[in-house]
Structure 1
Amino acid sequence: MRREWLAVAITAVMMTAACGSSGGTATQSAQPKEEKKTIALFLPESKTTRYEAFDRPLFEAKVKVLCADCEILYSNADQDAAKQQQQVEAALTQGADVLVLDAVDAAAVAPLVNQAKQKKVPVIAYDRLISGIDYEYFVSFNNVRVGEMQGQALLDAMNAKGTADKGEIVMIHGSPTDPSSADYKKGAKSVLDGKVKVGREFDTPDWSPDKAQQEMEQAITAIGRDKIVGVLSANDGMAGGAIAAMKRAGYKEMPPITGQDAELAAVQRILTGEQNMTIYLDIRAEAEKSAELAVALAKGEKPTAPTKANNGTADIPAFLLDPIAVTADKIKDTIVKDKFYKVEDICTAEVKEACVKAGIQ
């Protein structure tokens, strides 16, 4: 009996030792837990409503769908290049794995991109092409095409009124630190040169509606209220500033005026006839494509881009989306159809009659 018990005891000890050894080996060979990835998004300003209302939430939502564990560091520079520099450097210090950068001054951020390259942190230029250095991707719209659409819409509207050769136009361009502004200008002038007389032309710091209003006031004084037959405004915010100046100057009817970004106030102005058109940019597509690329880069992947954009130093792999010109008759089939805004948000009491006329309600 004792020998039997002794044999059982020895067997039990051996089995326990074997189990313990097996458990130890499994623990030692377990794969280390993957580190959480951090994606940093930098937007340039908040005067243009799209950035906080659309770009940021759409980008963040898409990242979370694709990478629930990814952390997002968000910063808005409030049109301050020095502030954006501090934000980018802080994100790199915090260990950001990818930078998605919409630069305040696209010509001045090359040193920041270089800092990221030295840390092996990939960079996506968002909406504005960063110049002077090579980096991973550029995601934006065909900006020269935007300008062409604005110029053609203005010319068509003036020709329809028979005023294209009866006076002068005012050109209110965007910020000189934004390379997109030069593209919009290039596109618009390719359509308008030789067909209209430009009375006054401005490059508007910070894309500021207030400064655009001041510029328009200067133009009215210099040219004369009755001689202005059209306004080429590069975006909706500045168009609002120009319209405010014209109202203040006593205009009963606005000359044709262009815009961009499909801001809610601009959509309402188009319906009521104060603004001729806007450029509708599918910001959802831009933000979500950038989020997809950021997550892919964070995972060590590098998707192939369909085209390239030359930034003066390198050909940057690019995703360039198509803009859409929108007049009153196209709001229903674009902005409303895409649920960019709710119908009730567009068709307030002041705009309700115009909405009915446009078939929106």
Structure 2
Amino acid sequence: MKPGPSRIVAAAAAVTVALTLASCGSAKQSTGSSGGGSGGASGPIKIGLLLPETKTTRYEQFDKPLIEQAIKAIAPDAQIDYYNANQDATTQQTQVDTALTKGNQVLILDAVDAKSIQSSVQKAHDAGVKVVAYDRLAQGPIDAYVSFDNFKVGVLQGEALVTAVGDKASSGKIIMINGSPTDPNAAEFKAGAHSAMDGKLTIGKEYDTPNWDPNNANQEAAAAITALGAQNVVGVYSANDGMAAGIATALKAANLSVPLTGQDAQLDAVQRILVNTQTMSIYKPYKPEADAAAAMAVALAQGKGVPTASATATSTSGSGNKVPSVLITPIVLVKANIKDTVVKDGLYTVAQICTPDYAAACADAGLS
């Protein structure tokens, strides 16, 4: 798919979805009780926000503040209890218990481990507490889900790598470094990437990387380069930007300059794209995702339910539960559209991107 500014239309459409969801209830209709999602007693609604980790910069920098702002815009008196599991599945299970004890009526849950959290999702369901799966589809009786088209993310990454490797594909192999095996999104990215690359690129080494750990990715890349021989490596698939940072370090140590993919449009990845040490990333506008999650959570806390007309997709979790979903289209980020995507949308300023080390590359890219 050709990247370009026109694809930002998808993000605008997602905002429309969120606003439609929000129309199901106003801030003055906070009717939830402290015990259940449908509630009957008057008072502020109570929402628990459970995010998975801090190694990926998006959660603390973007998702948390955007979700909180979106909830407050719809329901100014809402009580929001925030939890971060620091990539520990057991900690997140305990945090769900805490949220239930506090009387949270709805949980916005980005699961560390989609499978192990199932018992906690069931516990919430049995207590009458609604669960909105955020970004990752947890197993169990989830009430609603908002994310990106994760298979498409992998397809776009794979297509970009095929294009970047070009006619060198027949003379070498790629290294494929996938995300965490406990993250259902990682499996979708992997499947999408394989669908785009299989038969076009030869995979010399492939890894599933626990916890999306950049250090592990660095070690995997270094080991693969040694095993395959640096002269035989023609590209690297990285499922996200955090791991791409570790991989880029391994490539530099081996004096290798080959195409490298990523995802999440992290600031350091944008800078690597500018200086050609990373080929592309996937930009997933966080605001429409956060807006949709907030609107669904508020509607559920007010007993309004999730309008199926707005949640136009249906996703099936690993436990077989079918969940009404909002799926947002991802955007390919390359040097040519940095200005019209992450800068235009206010994710980063030119000053943040164009530090002295990147000033010349920024000038070449038309960033000023």
When the two structures are superposed, what TM-score results if normalisation uses the length of structure 1?
Answer: 0.88
Counterpart-to-counterpart distance in 1, 2:156 and 2:364? 25
Q: Deviations over 1:254-311 (max 9, x none)?
A: 2000000000000000011110000000111111110111111111111321110011
Q: Residues 241 and 308 from structure 1, CA distance in 2 versus in 1: closer, same or farther, beyond 3 angstroms?
A: same
Counterpart for residue 202 of structure 2: 197
Q: Kindly indicate whether residue 79 of structure 2 is the aligned counterpart of residue 74 of structure 1.
A: no
Counterpart-to-counterpart distance in 2, 1:278 and 1:135? 30
Q: Tell me which of 205, 228, 232 is aligned to 2:233.
A: 228
* TM-fit CA distance, 1:165: 1.2
Q: Tell me which of 13, 34, 55 is aligned to 2:63.
A: 55
| Greater RCO, 1 or 2 (C-alpha within 8 Å, sep 6+) | 2
Q: Kindly indicate whether residue 164 of structure 2 is the aligned counterpart of residue 157 of structure 1.
A: yes
Counterpart-to-counterpart distance in 2, 1:78 and 1:116? 21
Q: Deviations over 1:49-71 (max 9, x none)?
A: 00000000000111111111111
Q: Is the 8 A contact 2:132 2:297 kept in 1?
A: yes
Letter paired with 1:271:
L
What are the equivalent positions in structure 2 for 1:344-359 lying under 5 Å apart?
344-359=351-366
Counterpart-to-counterpart distance in 1, 2:323 and 2:41? 34
Q: Deviations over 1:166-194 (max 9, x none)?
A: 10000000000000000000000001111
Letter paired with 2:129:
V
Letter paired with 2:103:
G
Counterpart-to-counterpart distance in 2, 1:190 and 1:246? 25
Counterpart for residue 310 of structure 1: 316
Q: Kindly indicate whether residue 103 of structure 2 is the aligned counterpart of residue 122 of structure 1.
A: no
Counterpart-to-counterpart distance in 2, 1:344 and 1:289? 30
- Decide which structure has the larger Cα Rg and report it: 1
Counterpart-to-counterpart distance in 2, 1:144 and 1:136? 22
When structure 1 is superposed on structure 2, of 350-359 and 318-327 the one drifting more is 350-359
Counterpart for residue 293 of structure 1: 296
* TM-fit CA distance, 1:314: 2.0
Counterpart for residue 177 of structure 1: 182
Q: Which runs of 4+ in 1 moved over 3 A?
A: none
Unaligned runs of 5+ in 2: 1-39
* TM-fit CA distance, 1:348: 0.7
Counterpart-to-counterpart distance in 1, 2:287 and 2:218? 30
Q: Deviations over 1:172-225 (max 9, x none)?
A: 000000000000000000011111111100000000001000101110110011
Q: Deviations over 1:215-246 (max 9, x none)?
A: 01110110011111000000001011001111
Letter paired with 1:179:
P
Letter paired with 1:288:
D
Counterpart for residue 273 of structure 1: 276
* TM-fit CA distance, 1:33: 7.9
Counterpart-to-counterpart distance in 1, 2:122 and 2:235? 43
Counterpart for residue 97 of structure 1: 105
Q: Tell me which of 248, 252, 257 is aligned to 2:253.
A: 248
Letter paired with 1:186:
A
Q: Kindly indicate whether residue 173 of structure 2 is the aligned counterpart of residue 168 of structure 1.
A: yes
Counterpart for residue 10 of structure 2: none
Q: Give the 3-state SS of the residue equivalent to 1:350 in structure 2.
A: helix
Q: Tell me which of 222, 228, 232 is aligned to 1:217.
A: 222
The percent of aligned pairs where both chains have the same amino acid is 48
Q: Tell me which of 120, 137, 140 is aligned to 1:112.
A: 120
Counterpart for residue 29 of structure 1: none
Counterpart-to-counterpart distance in 2, 1:214 and 1:314? 37
Letter paired with 1:189:
H
Q: Is the 8 A contact 2:144 2:306 kept in 1?
A: no
Counterpart for residue 27 of structure 1: none
Q: Tell me which of 335, 339, 350 is aligned to 1:328.
A: 335
Q: Give the 3-state SS of the residue equivalent to 2:112 in structure 1.
A: coil
Q: Give the 3-state SS of the residue equivalent to 1:333 in structure 2.
A: helix
Counterpart-to-counterpart distance in 2, 1:297 and 1:89? 19
* TM-fit CA distance, 1:76: 0.5
> How many matched pairs?
325
Q: Tell me which of 129, 141, 159 is aligned to 1:134.
A: 141
Counterpart for residue 19 of structure 1: none
Letter paired with 1:167:
G
When the two structures are superposed, what TM-score results if normalisation uses the length of structure 2?
Answer: 0.87
Counterpart-to-counterpart distance in 1, 2:297 and 2:64? 14
Q: Give the 3-state SS of the residue equivalent to 1:104 in structure 2.
A: coil
